[in-house]
């Protein structure tokens, strides 16, 4: 098993490892170490069954149900992300975000498996929140450290609901939930339990207000930080192939599904997981 770094700050492709029904202890510790170090790990040519993908989530923690995009049938924790050939609306995950940061207990990580990808386009971008933190101008870093930021589920709530024509996966996501508008407060900066590296925990889809600042002032400050996070040096652009599996650390990265493949079908399968006995991002505060 080998790791091949993809960029200077995040991402590694893994070779020499085939996920099967029984994941060995050696594979488990290799995957966990690689994920801690690279934050996004890419496993080409896996072609996992739903059962195997769920088994892979078990290696990292407890598979977590997405309350706004529940899987159907046997696998409620498995979100099927589809854009059909004739669909010209938004895409699921089509903006920088960390998954479900507006929940009390956002998932610790996610596993995405490519079932059908377009011949071109449909890439996913990732960014390292650790790289963004370590190069953040000092006044912004001082302002954020030790503070909390509120998160709200704007796409799923009422107050900030996007126009229906822009909503992705209509019919298979839950929308207009007043509880999604409720602010949940998480630390703005987290510390990785293994590598001890610090990272920002804010994202433009869900972060809303900085503790001690009103909405307007928060928006101005947060926008500066988002621009910094998305600098090309902090990013990785991932080209998918059918059968590829990607696992990411959902507390120390953001990701963005690029919507540039109208006229082609794309289908992915996602399972998120939660650490056992987790209290969420608060466990990682600096
Ligand atoms: C997501 O998990 O936000 C979607 C990623 C993708 O479909 O590329």
Contacts of 24 (CB under 8 A, 6+ apart): none
For the question of residue 208 being annotated catalytic, the response is no
Does residue 275's CB lie within 6 angstroms of at least one atom of ligand 1?
Answer: no
Q: From atom 1 of ligand 1, which residue's Cα is the shortest distance away?
A: 93
The C-alpha atoms of residue 143 and residue 161 are separated, in whole angstroms, by 30
Query: How many domains is the chain partitioned into structurally?
Result: 1
Q: From atom 5 of ligand 1, which residue's Cα is the shortest distance away?
A: 257
For the question of residue 228 being annotated catalytic, the response is no
- 10 Å CB burial of residue 63 (0-12, 13-18, 19+) is buried
Q: Which atom of ligand 1 is nearest to the CA of 81?
A: 7
What is the three-class DSSP state of 6?
A: coil
Q: What end-to-end distance do the CA atoms of the chain give, in Å?
A: 33
Domain housing 10: 2-284
Q: Report CA-CA distances (Å) from 115 to 48, 234, 262, 269.
A: 9, 28, 17, 7
The C-alpha atoms of residue 269 and residue 114 are separated, in whole angstroms, by 7
Contacts of 273 (CB under 8 A, 6+ apart): 57, 58, 60, 61, 62, 63, 64, 107, 108, 109, 110, 111
The C-alpha atoms of residue 32 and residue 28 are separated, in whole angstroms, by 6
Q: How far is the CA of 124 from the centre of ligand 1 (A)?
A: 7
- 10 Å CB burial of residue 200 (0-12, 13-18, 19+) is buried
What size, in residues, is the chain?
286
Which one of 54, 184, 255, 269 is the catalytic residue?
A: 255
Q: From atom 8 of ligand 1, which residue's Cα is the shortest distance away?
A: 257
- Inter-residue contact 160 to 68 (CB < 8 Å): no
DSSP 8-class letter at 125: E
Q: How far is the CA of 125 from the centre of ligand 1 (A)?
A: 9
- Of 218, 220, 260, 212, give the one whose Cα is nearest residue 239: 260
Q: How far is the CA of 269 from the centre of ligand 1 (A)?
A: 9
Write out the E strands in 135-252.
148-151, 184-187, 189-191, 198-200, 207-210, 235-238, 245-249
Which one of 108, 151, 269, 270 is the catalytic residue?
A: 270
Any idea what the CATH number is for the domain that residue 37 is in? Answer: 3.60.130.10
Q: Is the dihedral of CA 174, 278, 273, 256 positive or negative?
A: positive
Does residue 128's CB lie within 6 angstroms of at least one atom of ligand 1?
Answer: no
pTM of the shown model? 0.94
Q: How far is the CA of 138 from the centre of ligand 1 (A)?
A: 32
| The pairing of beta strand 40-43 with beta strand 12-15 | parallel
The helix (H) or strand (E) run that includes residue 225 is helix 215-229
- Of 93, 78, 54, give the one whose Cα is nearest residue 254: 93
Per-residue pLDDT of the chain (286 residues; tens, 9 = 90+): 999 999 999 999 999 999 887 889 999 999 999 999 999 999 999 999 999 999 999 999 999 888 888 888 889 999 999 999 998 888 889 999 999 999 999 999 999 999 999 999 999 999 999 999 999 999 999 999 999 999 999 888 888 877 776 666 666 777 788 888 999 999 999 999 999 999 999 999 999 999 999 999 999 999 999 999 999 999 999 999 999 999 999 999 999 999 999 999 999 999 999 998 889 999 999 9
For residue 202, give both structure tokens. 């804010």
Report how far Cα 243 is from the mean position of its chain's Cα atoms: 19
Does residue 266's CB lie within 6 angstroms of at least one atom of ligand 1?
Answer: no
For the question of residue 182 being annotated catalytic, the response is no
Q: Pocket of ligand 1, candidates 79, 81, 249, 265: which has the most ligand atoms within 8 Å of its Cβ, to mutate?
A: 81
């Amino acid at each position: 098993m080998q790791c091949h770094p993809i960029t200077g700050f995040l991402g590694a492709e893994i070779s020499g490892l085939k996920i099967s029904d029984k994941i060995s202890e050696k594979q488990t510790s290799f995957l966990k170490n690689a994920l801690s170090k690279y934050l996004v790990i890419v496993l080409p040519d896996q072609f996992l069954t739903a059962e195997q993908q769920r088994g892979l989530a078990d290696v990292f923690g407890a598979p977590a149900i997405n309350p706004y995009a529940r899987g159907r049938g046997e696998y409620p924790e498995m979100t099927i992300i589809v854009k059909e050939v004739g669909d010209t609306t938004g895409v699921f995950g089509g903006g920088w975000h960390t998954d479900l940061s507006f929940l009390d207990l956002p998932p610790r990580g996610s596993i995405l498996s490519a079932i059908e990808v377009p011949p071109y386009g449909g890439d996913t971008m990732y960014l390292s929140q650790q790289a963004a933190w370590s190069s953040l101008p000092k006044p912004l870093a001082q302002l954020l450290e030790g503070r909390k930021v509120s998160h709200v589920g704007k796409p799923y709530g009422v107050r900030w609901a996007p126009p229906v024509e822009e909503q992705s996966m209509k019919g298979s996501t839950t929308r207009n939930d007043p509880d999604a508008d409720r602010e949940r407060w998480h630390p703005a900066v987290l510390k990785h339990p293994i590598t001890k590296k610090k990272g920002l925990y804010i994202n433009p889809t869900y972060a809303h207000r900085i503790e001690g600042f009103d909405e307007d002032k928060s928006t101005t400050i947060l926008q500066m930080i988002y621009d910094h996070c998305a600098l090309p040096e902090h990013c990785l652009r991932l080209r998918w192939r059918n059968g590829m599996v990607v696992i990411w650390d959902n507390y120390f990265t953001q990701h963005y599904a690029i919507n540039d493949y109208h006229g082609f079908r794309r289908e992915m399968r996602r399972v998120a997981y939660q650490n056992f006995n987790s209290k969420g991002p608060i466990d990682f505060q600096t």
